[in-house]
Amino acid sequence: SVYPDQNSASKNVANRIAEIIRAKQEKGEKAVLGLATGATPVKVYQELIRLHKEEGLSFKNVITFNLDEYYPMQPDADQSYVTFMNKNLFDHVDIDAANVNIPDGTLAPDQVNAFCEAYEQKITAAGGLDIQLLGIGRTGHIGFNEPGSAPNSGTRVVTLDDLTRRDASRAFGGKENVPTKAITMGVGTIFKAREIILMAWSETKAEIIKKAVEGEISSEIPATYLQLSDNVEFILDEAAASLL
């Protein structure tokens, strides 16, 4: 769907998440949310915080799994996705810290594969993702599934694309400071979510959105895999949709 602007689109996504949380709560179950970082979902989180503060939306029965984290990365670093999530959402709602899951950027190389496997199992044990939020990188990555990622890939360590590191360079004060690797849920992990929402705002995303939505399905642009799923919705502002 195309919205006139990022605000109205983000409100709509937040309302959908709130609906899932409340529906699960009524059944006495936990909602399982797959969350994303980056500038794109920030207004969704702001609206969720507003719903919490002003309309009594509780996160007590919410379990979250974040898509990705830089590797290596200390959780208390300014650029970590742990810091991002705390600042933009978790510090402002009543979620139980034990229900928050973000890939661990501190693991030794010989521990990381077991961690990735356990992350997959934890998602499954929680009942699977009710909804997965996605942004899109200019390489066409979802999470950090860069070009070359397989459609059935699972949570794993990946090497970041040069363009991705360039796009992240401002936050790190130079590309040379951006980690070369990340831990990311796989395309296959994302695909198992019962609902997937990919959001994109502004003309800087117009070109990659055109490729993702209309381009040939290929590992060269992992977001094109989303064309294969019936559970995906692209939520765009007019600028991001301008080349469709």
Residue 136 sits in the site that holds ligand GLP (CB under 6 A): yes
For the segment 101-120, give every residue that binds ligand GLP (CB under 6 A). none
Binding mask 47-76 for ligand GLP (x = CB under 6 A): --------------------xx--------
Rounded CA separation 53/70 (Å): 31
Which residue, 95 or 158, has its beta carbon nearer to ligand GLP?
158
| Beta strand pairing call for 156-159 and 232-237 | unpaired
Phi, psi of 79 (to 5 degrees): -90, 0
Q: Give ∠ CA 88-91-92 in degrees, rounded to 5.
A: 80
What are the distances in angstroms from CA 220 to CA 104, 177, 200? 27, 26, 19
Residue 39 sits in the site that holds ligand GLP (CB under 6 A): yes
Which residue, 40 or 99, has its beta carbon nearer to ligand GLP?
40
Residue 38 sits in the site that holds ligand GLP (CB under 6 A): yes
Residue 37 sits in the site that holds ligand GLP (CB under 6 A): yes
Q: Where are the alpha helices (DSSP H) in the chain?
A: 6-26, 42-55, 81-88, 112-125, 162-167, 169-172, 187-191, 206-214
Active site residue 146: yes
Contact between 208 and 198 (Cβ < 8 Å): no
Residue 80 sits in the site that holds ligand GLP (CB under 6 A): no
For the segment 144-163, give every residue that binds ligand GLP (CB under 6 A). 144
**Which of 143, 197, 206, 209 touches ligand GLP by CB under 6 A?**
143
Residue 164 sits in the site that holds ligand GLP (CB under 6 A): yes
Q: DSSP labels for 11-36?
A: HHHHHHHHHHHHHHHHTT--EEEEE-
Which of the stretches 33-41, 50-58, 71-79, 211-219 binds ligand GLP when contact is defined by CB under 6 A?
Answer: 33-41
Task: Give the containing element (helix H, strand E) for 203.
Answer: none
Residues classed as catalytic: 146
Binding site for ligand GLP (CB under 6 A): 36-40, 67-68, 135-137, 143-144, 164
